[in-house]
Amino acid sequence: MKNWKALLKNEGFFWSEILIIAFFVNCLSWFSSLDSKIITIILFVIMGVLFLIWGLRIGEKTEDKGFLAGIKFAGLNILVMILLSWLLFGFAFSISQLLYYVLIILITTGGAIVGVNKKKP
């Protein structure tokens, strides 16, 4: 039960960060004359950094293999993203989305691996 509470706490913080970032990027797109492709790139970079930071955090907290912790964290969050996308916008899956999700998994896994090696003895 303790692990579930910690997982839900981490997920709550993670998704609140995503919502705050999405709000600011949305405001940026409203009040600036930036092209939508630039906004998409900015959002991808911010999401990549966010997943990297959370991968580092998860890696520092894990007791065993960092890559498994990173894959579990990224897999769970990507599953949530896919389900939300499916429920809100209908099922439309493309190669670019698949590439995005694979890159997010790799970034999070890499962060978790570095986080395990960064632990203080």
pLDDT tens figures, 1-39: 456 677 778 788 888 888 898 888 888 888 888 788 888
Instruction: Concatenate the DSSP letters of all residues of the chain into one string.
Output: -HHHHHHHHHHHHHHHHHHHHHHHHHHHHHHS---HHHHHHHHHHHHHHHHHHHHHHHHHH-SS-HHHHHHHHHHHHHHHHHHHHHHHH-----HHHHHHHHHHHHHHHHHHHHHHHT---
pLDDT tens figures, 46-68: 999 999 998 888 888 887 788 88
